[in-house]
Structure 1
Amino acid sequence: MKPSPHHPMKSTEGMVDYDRNSAAQQQMVNTQSGRMRELVGSLSPAGPEMTVVDYGCGPGSSAIEAVRPSIEASRAHFPELPVSVVHMDQPGNDWNALFQLVFGSFGYRGGSDDIRTAAAVGTFYSQMMPASSVDMATCFAASHWLSQTVSVKAPGSIWFADLQGEARQTVWDQAVRDWSTLLRHRATEIRKGGYLLVGTLGSVPDETEINGTAASGRGIYRAIQVVAQSMAEDGLINPDVLDRFVFALWFMTEEEARTPLEEDGQLAAAFDIEEISVTPAPGNNRDVFGAYLADPDDYAKRYRGYIRAFADSTLRKQLFEPGVSSVADVDALADTFFNRLEELYRTQTDKYAFELWHLLVILKKK
């Protein structure tokens, strides 16, 4: 039996073919592969094992690549130590898919008796590991999601970068609280000399933007706004619901990510800052799918797949479910939305291109 449309969605429910459509997440992980090896190689192990934790792991192959460099570096530098790998995410993560990859032909467990694999189920806005137990912690493409949904009155804007006034302040207050909370719990869990590496989407200064910053994915979220508005005008979405809908996320600038670590006494005492930076993603950071522009159909399908992979569950729960009477109605609205989104990218192509800047935060526990 299918759940009621008003039943809370799981964290990865609706992520259609997440692994296939997570190229940007996988690129972010792969870009930091060498750095992860370097950090693990510089550790002075406390034993009795090397503990590697990936926070907000997700269900795809990027979760494997987020820990593989640390495993390989540990084996190379500390062959006497067994390795403990912990994948951490919310209850609704597709754990079956993840562990099929872990133990599959391209996983890291094939024939390995010196690796212990576990899942930590919950939220990284709480303590998830014993105190001083983690040697190497990573968090990729996850820390920008807020700890809870935010409802603000903001007609014409469905994400933080275009908000103004009280609505923007409300979302920012939640974002900075969450970032500080995430860091405090990692400060408890990571042992002295251990590392935290956070890689996620960032923002950069841009005087042409309404709030003075250009945020990763600004084209994507504005395309979502255009399609949602068209459905509201056609009577398919409640306009009042749309006016209060905002994605619960914030892509920080370098300054925004750094400030709590320097001004919060507890965090300043806990961590040394190894690096905080926002840089263009490798390749075509002005259009992640720009290589496919010559074929508008392919280009549009790639945007549809990528956006649906991360946004479907949020759109269903907060935008499509209110006011409908069945799961079938939600499914129909979702199909209509993504059909219109694909058509928008087919006809407007790079007007709503996916620009991407990587925020990298590397901290060492004092």
Structure 2
Amino acid sequence: MSGAKPGADAPTRPAPMERGGFYNERSRLQAGGGAHGLPAIARAFERMPLGDGPVTIADYGSAQGRNSLVPIGAAIAETRARLGASSPVSVVHTDQPDNDFSTLFCLLRDSEDSYLGAQNIFTSAVGRSFYEQVLPAGSVTFGWCSYAIHWLSAAPIAGAGHIWCRLTTGDTRRAFERRSADDWLIFLTHRAAELRPGGCLVVVQPSMPDDEPSTFPVLMGWAQAELDAMAADGTLREAEAARMTVLCYERYPADVRAPFANGDFCGLVLAEDFLNDLPDPFWGPYQATGDAKTLADQYVGFFQAPFRPSLLAALDPDRDTSFRKAFADRLESGLHRRVIAEPQPLMTPLAVHVSLIQKR
């Protein structure tokens, strides 16, 4: 179970991922989405003046690190291609203060995919939200942010009453939309301060076509139905049920481009951006095998890693460990039964948006 402080933190900020590599093991979709941004890394380095080094690479929203290994390794390779095999590179992973940095550093030490096999690589971490300035002004050569910026800095209201922000309605939905727009501006403002002149930032985030109102409407509809049932039979208290909102809000491509509508923003230029479809990684194999149990296992595993901590954090402080486990088990077993009873693609509609941003 998550170690996040329960109840009181739920309306204010996202809960940290569960520790011990749990997110690393269950973030296949996020890794696949991030891969769409890899070609932009090479194009970023083609645009950047590197000087004589040292080069500083910032990984904004690192989580437990597994999905950062390939992109950060690619950025190091681009640096070495330009400056030589022994050029010093500083890599700074950033995330919330209560992120599982221990798992990240053990992964860097032990993984065959670690970029630390190269010489003269210096790794550190900063425990601070990227909605603040996290590194000195003018110090970052290249920044990478993948599948992190759709997490809001805070809930704009307490008690949204639905698990998925984009499935709320009326004033509640508009409040989340405003928060998402403001957070994007805040994020860009701080990165503008941190980047060196000519430095680049690649941002990869989940998105969707303009004619789609929400991602995961079936999956999150089913999850909400399970939560409603627990509220109706008294398992969940009314205030707990109202707080159970995952603070994710995907942006349309137009939302990403909005700060740059009149040119640069805080000295940042949107050099390129594109939207790619992101296929459901679990549905294709199911069509080949017809194995509904495996399909259900995969969908529930996807749900657990990023979203379960937020729901556990919404429980009141007096809920003990046994209650928390029973709550999570009931929710996830309910989703599991629904997938087996009615197999269908649940990771749609979903696309991935990549933006390459450069500081003048």
Whether the TM-score (by the shorter chain) exceeds 0.5 is yes
Cα distance per residue 1:291-339 (max 9 Å; x no partner):
2321000000001111100011101011xx1275312211211111111
Q: Is the 8 A contact 1:202 1:215 kept in 2?
A: no
Mapped to 1, the partners of 2:168 and 2:8 lie a distance apart of: 29
Q: What is the deviation of 1:3? A: 8.6
Give the aligned residue type for 1:166. Answer: D
Mapped to 2, the partners of 1:133 and 1:4 lie a distance apart of: 34
Q: What is the deviation of 1:216? A: 3.1
* Percent of matched pairs sharing the same residue: 25
Mapped to 1, the partners of 2:218 and 2:349 lie a distance apart of: 7
Cα distance per residue 1:163-210 (max 9 Å; x no partner):
22211111112111111000000000011111111101112222xxxx
Partner residue, 2:53: 48
Which runs of structure 2 are paired with 1:278-357 in the superposition (5 Å)? Answer: 278-281=275-278, 285=279, 287-293=280-286, 294-318=290-314, 321-322=315-316, 324-350=318-344, 352-357=346-351
The answer for unaligned runs of 5 or more in structure 1 is 207-212
Q: What is the deviation of 1:117? A: 0.7
Give the aligned residue type for 1:256. Answer: D
Mapped to 2, the partners of 1:15 and 1:216 lie a distance apart of: 28
Q: Is the 8 A contact 1:159 1:247 kept in 2?
A: yes
Partner residue, 1:254: 253
Change beyond 3 A, Cα 1:352–1:26: closer
Partner residue, 1:272: 269
The answer for unaligned runs of 5 or more in structure 2 is none
Mapped to 2, the partners of 1:91 and 1:153 lie a distance apart of: 25
Q: Is the 8 A contact 1:146 1:250 kept in 2?
A: yes
Change beyond 3 A, Cα 1:23–1:329: same
Which residue of the other structure, out of 170, 181, 184, is the alignment partner of 2:186?
181
Superposition RMSD on alpha carbons, in Å? Answer: 2.4
Partner residue, 1:118: 124
Partner residue, 2:164: 159
Give the aligned residue type for 2:224. Answer: Q
Mapped to 2, the partners of 1:3 and 1:88 lie a distance apart of: 18
Cα distance per residue 1:224-274 (max 9 Å; x no partner):
2122122223322224542454322210011111112325x8x52511111
Which residue of the other structure, out of 163, 170, 177, is the alignment partner of 2:175?
170
* 3-state SS, counterpart of residue 151 of structure 1: coil
Mapped to 2, the partners of 1:102 and 1:87 lie a distance apart of: 11
Mapped to 1, the partners of 2:140 and 2:232 lie a distance apart of: 51
Cα distance per residue 1:96-148 (max 9 Å; x no partner):
111112122321112x3311111111000000111111111010000001111
Count of aligned positions: 349
Mapped to 2, the partners of 1:29 and 1:278 lie a distance apart of: 12
Give the aligned residue type for 2:294. Answer: D
* 3-state SS, counterpart of residue 138 of structure 1: strand
Q: Is the 8 A contact 1:223 1:352 kept in 2?
A: no
Mapped to 2, the partners of 1:37 and 1:257 lie a distance apart of: 21
Mapped to 1, the partners of 2:82 and 2:198 lie a distance apart of: 16
Which runs of structure 2 are paired with 1:230-249 in the superposition (5 Å)? Answer: 230-249=229-248
Q: Is the 8 A contact 2:146 2:204 kept in 1?
A: yes
Q: Is the 8 A contact 2:9 2:313 kept in 1?
A: yes
Change beyond 3 A, Cα 1:4–1:289: closer
Q: Is the 8 A contact 2:180 2:249 kept in 1?
A: yes
Structure with the greater relative contact order (CA < 8 A, sep ≥ 6): 1 or 2? 2
Mapped to 1, the partners of 2:35 and 2:346 lie a distance apart of: 26
Q: Is the 8 A contact 2:70 2:113 kept in 1?
A: no
Q: Is the 8 A contact 1:127 1:189 kept in 2?
A: yes
Mapped to 2, the partners of 1:218 and 1:14 lie a distance apart of: 28
Do structure 1's residue 102 and structure 2's residue 108 form an aligned pair? yes
Mapped to 1, the partners of 2:22 and 2:246 lie a distance apart of: 21
Q: Is the 8 A contact 1:16 1:309 kept in 2?
A: no
Change beyond 3 A, Cα 1:53–1:351: closer
Partner residue, 1:209: none
Mapped to 2, the partners of 1:205 and 1:308 lie a distance apart of: 28
